[in-house]
Amino acid sequence: MLNFASLQPPLSITGLDDLPDAIVVIDQHGQPLLCNQQATQILAGYFPSLWQVDATSTHRVLDRYHSPLSAEQLPLQRIVAGATLNNEEFVLIQNDSSKKRWIALSGGPCTGSIKAAGILSIRDVTVFKQEETRLQRQAFLDELTGLANRNAFIARVNAGLAQAQPADSMALLFIDLDRFKDVNDNLGHQVGNELLSQLGERLQHQIQPETSLVARLGGDEFAVLMEHITSQDDAIAMAECLQAIIAQPFQLQQHEIYIDACIGIALGARHYGHAEDWLCDADTAMYQVKAIPDRHWFVFDSSLQVQQSQRLQAEMELRRALDNGELRLHYQPIVTISTQAIIGFEALVRWQHPDRGLLMPGEFIGTAEATGLIIPLGWWVLEEACRQMQVWTQAYPDTAHFTVSVNMSSKQFSQKNLVQRVSKTLAQTGFDPRRLKLEITEGVLIDHSESIIDVLEQLRAMGIRLAVDDFGTGYSSLSYLHRFPFDSLKIDRSFIDNADQDYEKLEILQSVVRLAWNLGLDVVAEGVETQRHYAQLKALRCESGQGYLFSKPLPPDAIEAILVKDLELDLPAD
Ligand code: C2E
Ligand code: MG
Ligand code: MG
């Protein structure tokens, strides 16, 4: 019977004690033939467990993941069987977990000696491992909130996915704060950080740590994993509860701050291969929340995925269109109603799509707005319109008084350098600012309210003219016309259409024209399609008009054909 209780080899060579590592030579039964001092210290009590599984032993050897080893996996067995180990890590642990030590073991079989079957060197790496664990913990912790960070969250979700049974239901909640940027911008980063930290505590307090994990993914994004839910209602209840605690005021350095959150929920378990895919779906659902006013949460469904991939595709194509110069401008003449003379054009964007032909703005402006691409698109339109007008001015001096109207999107007004950019474009193209009209819909005024007045005043000070576009389709608040410095009013075609038959419409049209006059605004009627419209506008003494009756929007060469013919449109008979 072999004695495994301690490491007491028959031989000892003193020189070996000077080596930094523990050295052991074993026979084919895993018995120590030779060892140094270090080996006795490191392996005392554990040596038998390196060779055989003994349920009664108080000392055990585990693999680096703390899993028990079968007999064939034990290091000495492997060496005797002929394997070579290269710095393989093992954990030496007492059953009551009171002591734990990490070792790195190298070794292999011995040849040439009848008795020695293998030699191994062992290094105690406990200190390194403790430091590694500390660093790892740090790498998995969000410093600001003390919550799990993105890495930790992904790791836990992946582990949850790997262990999930077919019947298990889990939920992932993606939380994004609204207006957090405003807090940072207006009150400073310190207040912003304090808010995130307080929010972290609130969220942590709300979940059950045994079955849920809350993490800060970065910025103002948080996520919650619920590992066991019975139905989607549990996840919704959690989302509502989190929303309610987020909506409670935050007391931050004398400021009482209210914020809101959008929460995307993705249910699932086994059908997700990876945590990132699952998070992506919850993120998609979160964006859906943002699109619906007064909504705080949304549960992902796969049709959203289709929508999102279509959106991404459209965005990619539009980006390419901008890079490859696939955008075009068409110009629609604006005429003086009384004289029928052209006084300018409205520049309208088109997309010469390589596969789908010429696309109208209705097919891509929405994508451009949603993705922010409307900003580069808008600048391109402005530059191109000014450039083209300058070319025509030089080629056809009679057009030197023509104006060009350019549509401006609300997003463009979020740009801080808007005025400088417009001014630079005018300077670069040499186009006279007094011939530029910027068309703005009421939506822009609503989005930016007071902050826009200053910008509009600056544009106007440069000589640029400003028009309210599509008047009558939005809020049609007449107070806007007083408050904002406009020069023109473009009446939407829905007002013009049928005005001759619909008495009420006619009344409104009449009073809008009169009001515009009183405010010193000139009026442009949009969508003049028929002789009847034309006659009506003449009777109302509306100054100018734009519509298919005069001309459709035309590409530059077709406009040139008109300019060559002495500015004559095939206008209707008087
Ligand atoms: P909008 O600024 O109100 O432009 C007038 C729209 O009415 C144009 O449509 C024009 O083709 C159409 N139209 C003109 N006369 C008639 C008519 O007699 N009957 C009818 N049924 N329609 C008429 P389009 O070119 O499809 O543009 C639609 C909208 O897309 C524009 O409405 C504008 O809001 C937007 N848009 C066009 N170009 C740009 C651009 O460069 N930037 C921005 N932000 N928006 C643009
Ligand atoms: Mg317009
Ligand atoms: Mg319009």
Q: Are strands 327-336 and 544-546 parallel, antiparallel or unpaired?
A: antiparallel
DSSP string for residues in 533-569: HHHHHHHTT--EEESTTT---B-HHHHHHHHHTTT--
> What pLDDT shows up at residue 566?
63
User: Whose Cα sits closest to atom 20 in ligand 1?
Assistant: 527
> What pLDDT shows up at residue 14?
67
Instruction: Of 314-318, 470-474, 533-537, give the lowest mean pLDDT range.
Output: 470-474
User: Whose Cα sits closest to atom 46 in ligand 1?
Assistant: 407
Has residue 138 got a pLDDT over 80? no
Contact yes or no for 21/42 (Cβ under 8 A): no
- Averaged pLDDT for residues 442-471: 87
- Averaged pLDDT for residues 355-370: 92
DSSP string for residues in 277-338: HHHHHHHHHHHHHHHSTT--EEE--HHHHHHHHHHHHHHHHHHHHHHTT-EEEEEEEEEETT
> What pLDDT shows up at residue 570?
62
Ligand 3 centroid to Cα of residue 357, in Å, is 24
Ligand 3 centroid to Cα of residue 466, in Å, is 13
Ligand 3 centroid to Cα of residue 9, in Å, is 97
User: Sorting pLDDT into bands at 50, 70 and 90, what band is 295?
Assistant: confident
pLDDT one-digit tens code per residue, 202-226: 999 999 888 899 999 999 999 999 9
User: Sorting pLDDT into bands at 50, 70 and 90, what band is 11?
Assistant: low
Has residue 561 got a pLDDT over 60? yes
Task: Give the rounded percent of residues in the chain with a pLDDT score beyond 90.
Answer: 54
Q: The tokens of 219 are what?
A: 């910025």
Q: Which residues surround ligand 3, an ion (CB under 5 A)?
A: 469-470, 526
User: Sorting pLDDT into bands at 50, 70 and 90, what band is 568?
Assistant: low
> What pLDDT shows up at residue 513?
87
Atom of ligand 1 at shortest range from CA of 529: 18
Helix (H, G, I), strand (E, B) or coil at 570: coil
Has residue 4 got a pLDDT over 50? no
CA–CA gap between residue 117 and residue 34 (Å, rounded): 12
User: Sorting pLDDT into bands at 50, 70 and 90, what band is 569?
Assistant: low
Domains and CATH numbers, the chain: 4-132 (3.30.450.20), 141-300 (3.30.70.270), 335-348+375-564 (3.20.20.450)
Has residue 359 got a pLDDT over 90? yes
CA–CA gap between residue 362 and residue 351 (Å, rounded): 11
> What pLDDT shows up at residue 291?
74
User: Whose Cα sits closest to atom 37 in ligand 1?
Assistant: 348
Ligand 1 centroid to Cα of residue 332, in Å, is 9
Has residue 182 got a pLDDT over 90? no
Q: Which residue has the higher pLDDT, 498 or 51?
A: 51
Which are the contacts of 417, defined by CB distance < 8 A and separation ≥ 6?
none
Which are the contacts of 385, defined by CB distance < 8 A and separation ≥ 6?
329, 347, 404, 406
> What is the maximum span of the chain, computed from C-alpha positions, in angstroms?
124
> What pLDDT shows up at residue 376?
95
Contact yes or no for 264/297 (Cβ under 8 A): yes
User: Sorting pLDDT into bands at 50, 70 and 90, what band is 170?
Assistant: very high
Atom of ligand 1 at shortest range from CA of 368: 44
Has residue 481 got a pLDDT over 70? yes
CA–CA gap between residue 439 and residue 437 (Å, rounded): 6
User: Sorting pLDDT into bands at 50, 70 and 90, what band is 3?
Assistant: very low
Which are the contacts of 8, defined by CB distance < 8 A and separation ≥ 6?
32
Residue among 84, 228, 126, 89 at smallest CA distance from 167 = 228
Taking phi over 0 as left and psi of -120 to 50 as alpha, with beta for the rest, 384 belongs to: alpha
> What pLDDT shows up at residue 572?
55
Atom of ligand 1 at shortest range from CA of 330: 25
pLDDT one-digit tens code per residue, 32-74: 988 898 898 888 888 888 998 888 888 889 998 888 899 999 9
Has residue 270 got a pLDDT over 90? no
Has residue 286 got a pLDDT over 50? yes
Task: Give the rounded percent of residues in the chain with a pLDDT score beyond 70.
Answer: 93
User: Whose Cα sits closest to atom 34 in ligand 1?
Assistant: 407
> What pLDDT shows up at residue 573?
53
Ligand number nearest CA of 552 is 1
User: Whose Cα sits closest to atom 23 in ligand 1?
Assistant: 527
Instruction: Of 8-22, 152-166, 464-478, 509-523, give the lowest mean pLDDT range.
Output: 8-22
> What pLDDT shows up at residue 346?
98
Q: Torsions phi, psi of 492, nearest 5?
A: -60, 150
Q: Which residues surround ligand 2, an ion (CB under 5 A)?
A: 407, 439, 469
Instruction: Of 60-74, 188-202, 386-400, give the lowest mean pLDDT range.
Output: 60-74
pLDDT one-digit tens code per residue, 230-246: 989 999 999 999 999 99
Name residues contacting ligand 1 (CB within 6 A).
332, 348-349, 360-362, 365, 374, 378, 381, 407, 409, 439, 469-470, 493, 526-529, 546-548, 553
CA–CA gap between residue 571 and residue 551 (Å, rounded): 8
Which are the contacts of 479, defined by CB distance < 8 A and separation ≥ 6?
none
Q: Ligand 1 pocket: which of 365, 468, 534 to mutate (most atoms <8 Å of CB)?
A: 365
Q: Ligand 1 pocket: which of 329, 335, 348 to mutate (most atoms <8 Å of CB)?
A: 348
Ligand 1 centroid to Cα of residue 205, in Å, is 53
pLDDT one-digit tens code per residue, 64-119: 888 889 999 999 999 999 999 999 999 999 887 778 899 999 999 988 766 889 99
Atom of ligand 1 at shortest range from CA of 349: 38
User: Whose Cα sits closest to atom 11 in ligand 1?
Assistant: 553
Average pLDDT across the chain, whole number: 88
> What pLDDT shows up at residue 1?
29
- Cβ neighbours of 499 (radius 10 Å): 23
Strands (E), 46-191: 59-63, 85-94, 100-109, 116-124, 170-178
Q: Torsions phi, psi of 462, nearest 5?
A: -80, -10
User: Sorting pLDDT into bands at 50, 70 and 90, what band is 457?
Assistant: very high
Q: Ligand 1 pocket: which of 382, 386, 407 to mutate (most atoms <8 Å of CB)?
A: 407
Has residue 172 got a pLDDT over 60? yes
User: Sorting pLDDT into bands at 50, 70 and 90, what band is 478?
Assistant: low
Ligand 1 centroid to Cα of residue 348, in Å, is 6
Ligand number nearest CA of 470 is 3
pLDDT one-digit tens code per residue, 299-350: 998 776 677 777 788 888 999 999 999 999 999 999 999 988 999 999 999 9
User: Sorting pLDDT into bands at 50, 70 and 90, what band is 447?
Assistant: low
Q: The tokens of 95 are what?
A: 């059953």
Residue among 42, 44, 41, 37 at smallest CA distance from 5 = 44
User: Sorting pLDDT into bands at 50, 70 and 90, what band is 5?
Assistant: very low
Highest mean pLDDT among 3-17, 88-102, 378-392, 439-453: 378-392
Ligand 3 centroid to Cα of residue 287, in Å, is 29
> What pLDDT shows up at residue 403?
98
CA–CA gap between residue 350 and residue 497 (Å, rounded): 25
